[in-house]
Structure 1
């Protein structure tokens, strides 16, 4: 047999071709890129940890001082919530936005992601401004001494306001990741929408002479008496 009579078979058309070689080297349609999966995990981690840090640090002592009483001085302390309640409130808003970002799509997801970022930024700024605040202890000194003109003395601040600000920055980073990569993230209802089609097409035929088929149809929410 001459060489011209031998049929030419390419690497993808021959009878012994490797079936894996014919498959395209690409991800399945609708699959999230690896980068978006990493950004999703990072946003969840940063947002949840940041909110926890803000809530924890806001309950710690931010400032200490003394109020003059008679011939002595009364020690006073002010927690983060006494100085400003904004970081705590915004951390709760950030947590809600972090969950809600998976329940919406399109423009709604961008809006929720922006809210997440703004919550973190607001918590960080409020905590930073409260790091040097003395009004909370001045009010405490006036209330303790009964003198409206009394002010706190020997005022010192702790590092907890800056820890709170760092937590707010983590929430901000989570929001920025959601703004940048959120359009690739899955939504909560996506799995149920994908499963609905095949389940409806795969419904088994009902035999009216078999009671067990009738009961199964009723369990699936179908009408076994309709014409098929």
Structure 2
């Protein structure tokens, strides 16, 4: 295994981190569509209370927005290298912190009462909230879990991502192109695909020599010089 080839442990760590990011983004997107709060509004007169149900997206747009950003972070970690990966990981972790803060703010009692009151105002007239709103546990729990997982995954990426494999790994080559000898057109295409330079002479294959003791190229001129001159024909 070459030094530039990631070890199985690093590849496994990379795969688990990408899976955690995908799960975190999925939880946030799913939580945004869940019902978070229910309440009732009443109006003067013989009108029964009207139930009101609000989803996570009705209370805050952070879970869905951060969820999509988490999916984009997967592509960013796959396509970038080095310090850029650290930056992507830090942004992912910051998005998770933002989502956690938004979930906490959206589930406060006064926030829930204000949200239900806003629904009562939209109906017009003198509608009012009847009783305290009821907070469902599933939606906020999914959002909080996804946000926490996003924070952990982002921090792990910010620390470990430069060692992970990525899109550019298989295209890394030495600074000096390797020389190769292409005998057939098929060999030429294979060498180009491998990153070798078929225009360079292969090691050990020298068609001329700078060694004065090597007759090399001097053999042909010497044989011409040793050939006797032919007499010219008299016209």
- TM normalised by structure 1 equals 0.71
Given that 2:86 and 2:159 are in contact with CA atoms closer than 8 Å, whether structure 1 keeps it comes out as no
User: How much has 1:78 moved relative to structure 2?
Assistant: 0.4
* TM-aligned CA distance change 1:64 to 1:37, over 3 Å: same
* C-alpha deviation, 1:94, in angstroms: 1.5
Map 1:101-180 onto structure 2 (within 5 A).
101-132=77-108, 133-134=111-112, 135-147=114-126, 150-151=128-129, 153-159=131-137, 160-180=139-159
TM-score normalised by structure 2 residue count? 0.69
- 1:80 is matched with which residue: 35, 51, 56? 56
- Matched positions, count: 186
Cα distance, 1:115 vs structure 2: 0.6
User: Following TM superposition, where does structure 1 have runs of at least 4 consecutive aligned residues deviating by more than 4 angstroms?
Assistant: 200-203
Unaligned runs of 5+ residues in structure 1 are 1-26, 207-212
Largest Rg, 1 or 2: 2
Deviation of 1:85 (Å):
0.3
Unaligned runs of 5+ in 2: 194-198, 202-235
User: Aligned-pair RMSD on alpha carbons?
Assistant: 3.0
CA displacement at 1:89 relative to structure 2: 0.3
Cα distance in structure 2, aligned partners of 1:54 and 1:168: 7
Q: Deviations over 1:137-159 (max 9, x none)?
A: 21111112434x73453410001
The answer to whether the 8 Å contact 1:88/1:123 transfers is: no
Report whether the alignment pairs 1:61 with 2:35: yes
